[in-house]
Amino acid sequence: VQDVDECNVSANCVHGTCANTDDGYTCTCENGYTGTQCDTDVNRADGSTATSSNPGGDGDPPSNLVDGDNSTTFTLTYSNDTWVMIDLGEVIIVDHLEISSHPPGTDIDVQIYIEDSDTPTYEETLCAEFSGTLDTSEDIECDAPIEGRYVFIKVILAVNESITLSLVSVYGEEPTPPEDVDECTVSANCVYGICSNTGDGYTCTCESGYTGTQCDTRVNRADGST
């Protein structure tokens, strides 16, 4: 029986590369996507930690926003500088977020900032602003993708002096790691030895009679002798 190339007959691997196999196909997903079809955004906030400028109490810790349970809530009481911070655990190029409320119908006015530090600067880090009624959930696109580790949701105005949220999801890509430079080819390392490139530098294996990080020091055979 002739094998059918599933990669050519259906729209598989929405955000990925399709590879045909004898009994089907496999998908290699692009950065930021997962699933057998590469059609699911990776929620970068899943399992993260969250803190707030004014924790609401034992019943609604900030971690409720990233626990994956849309029925648990966290209430932010409005003051002059009210925010909740989500630590993604690593630097992400954030392009959009999804914010949910429970029960629906929350009126909110918030600004979302992506920061490099756990202390907000609010300088050139604005992702987006949302003002309106949060019926169930709202997908909020950043004006432009912003790179950072910390997501700050800052309350600008709360009609009823507080807002209640149930879930925050953060989506985006991991930054492309810098290309490794092969130090063995760009400088005269390991004068009397063999150079081996590593991810963060190089190592030298010295010839007999030489030592040192550059293998440029003669071994004194009389050292310690009698």
With respect to residue 116, please indicate whether it lies within any of the assigned structural domains: yes
- Two tokens at 16? 């990925």
Query: Does the structure show a pLDDT above 60 at 225?
Result: yes
What count of Cα atoms within 13 Å lies in the side-chain half-sphere of residue 208? 0
Full-model pTM: 0.72
User: Residues 130, 195: one domain?
Assistant: no
User: Domain residues for 84?
Assistant: 49-173
With respect to residue 225, please indicate whether it lies within any of the assigned structural domains: no
CB-based burial label for 172 (10 Å; 0-12, 13-18, 19+): buried
* Contact in structure between 84 and 52 (CB atoms under 8 Å): yes
Residue 92: strand, helix, or coil: strand
- Sequence-separated (6 or more) residues with CB below 8 Å from residue 23: none
Handedness of CA 127, 139, 83, 107 (dihedral sign): positive
Torsion of the alpha carbons at 119, 90, 33 and 86, rounded to the nearest 10? -30
Find the CATH number of the domain harbouring 142: 2.60.120.260
Q: Token match 């756990």: residue?
A: 118
* Contact in structure between 117 and 87 (CB atoms under 8 Å): no
User: Residues 54, 36: one domain?
Assistant: no
30 vs 160: CA distance, rounded Å: 42
For residue 72, which amino acid is it?
A: T
Confidence of residue 50 (pLDDT cuts 50, 70, 90): very high
User: Residues 53, 138: one domain?
Assistant: yes
Mean pLDDT computed over 99-127: 87
Find the CATH number of the domain harbouring 30: 2.10.25.10
pLDDT in tens, 133-186: 888 889 999 999 999 999 999 988 755 677 888 999 999 998 988 788 888 888
Query: Does the structure show a pLDDT above 60 at 116?
Result: yes
What is the domain count for the chain?
A: 3
Mean pLDDT computed over 39-60: 82
Find the CATH number of the domain harbouring 207: 2.10.25
pLDDT in tens, 188-197: 789 999 999 8
